[in-house]
Amino acid sequence: MDIVQAVISQYAAALSMLEECVVACPEDLWDTDDAPNRFYQMAYHILFYTHLYVKPKAEDFVPWVRHVEGHHSFGGPTYPGGPIPPEGEPYTKDDILEYLAICREQIATIVPTLDFEAESGFPWLPFGKLELQFYSIRHIMLHVGELAERLSAMRGIEVSWVSKGTIESD
């Protein structure tokens, strides 16, 4: 397996785990304020940054057509427009799953074209493009772990570990 396929496989595995969290989330937990960020906000945050960081550079990013300007309540750099939709305007599970499918498609088509020797393309991330892919996958898994823990602790729902995955490109 080459590096491109390894990166795609790990994105696919991480996004499969996110999808399982989204699908398994009970409706009453989707938009509750029992945690610092609502479930849908965390899921959207994950996808926003996945979508952003798979681009060759920051200037290439165009937010999802359904993006709602929000705020940023997580630590780290703030991207203009904020990656967390405001409360009171929740995305549905179908919305999040639609965005997840877009991110998968972007990964399948963009990752094979990336120059892993280049700089990240994001001035606030001073490392190379290959490291950015690892950074992005770690970001997905950090928050998927939080969502999985929330499901387990609050509802006894367990999320399966996915070791590798595939994304089909058209």
The predicted-structure confidence for 124-160, as pLDDT tens digits, reads as follows 999 999 999 999 999 999 999 999 999 999 999 999 9
Q: CATH code at 112? A: 1.20.120.450
The verdict on residue 163 lying in a domain is no
The verdict on residue 166 lying in a domain is no
Domain that includes residue 44, residue range: 3-155
The verdict on residue 141 lying in a domain is yes
Per the structure, the count of domains in the chain is 1
Angle, nearest 10°, between helix axes 129-155 and 3-24?
A: 20
The more confidently predicted of residues 89 and 114 is 114
Query: In the structure encoding, which two tokens stand for residue 50, read together?
Result: 């996945």
The verdict on residue 116 lying in a domain is yes
Find the range with the poorest average confidence among 46-50, 87-91, 111-115, 156-160.
87-91
The verdict on residue 162 lying in a domain is no
In three-state secondary structure terms, 115 is: coil
Average of per-residue pLDDT across 18-42: 92
pLDDT at 75 over 50: no
Other C-beta atoms within 10 Å of 157: how many? 16
Find the range with the poorest average confidence among 3-7, 38-42, 51-55.
38-42
The verdict on residue 169 lying in a domain is no
The verdict on residue 160 lying in a domain is no
Band of pLDDT at residue 81, cut at 50, 70 and 90: very low
Taking the C-alpha atoms of residue 1 and residue 135, their distance in angstroms, rounded to an integer, is: 20
Query: Across all residues in the chain, what is the average pLDDT?
Result: 88
pLDDT at 82 over 70: no
- Position 55 scores a pLDDT of 96
- Position 76 scores a pLDDT of 46
The verdict on residue 10 lying in a domain is yes
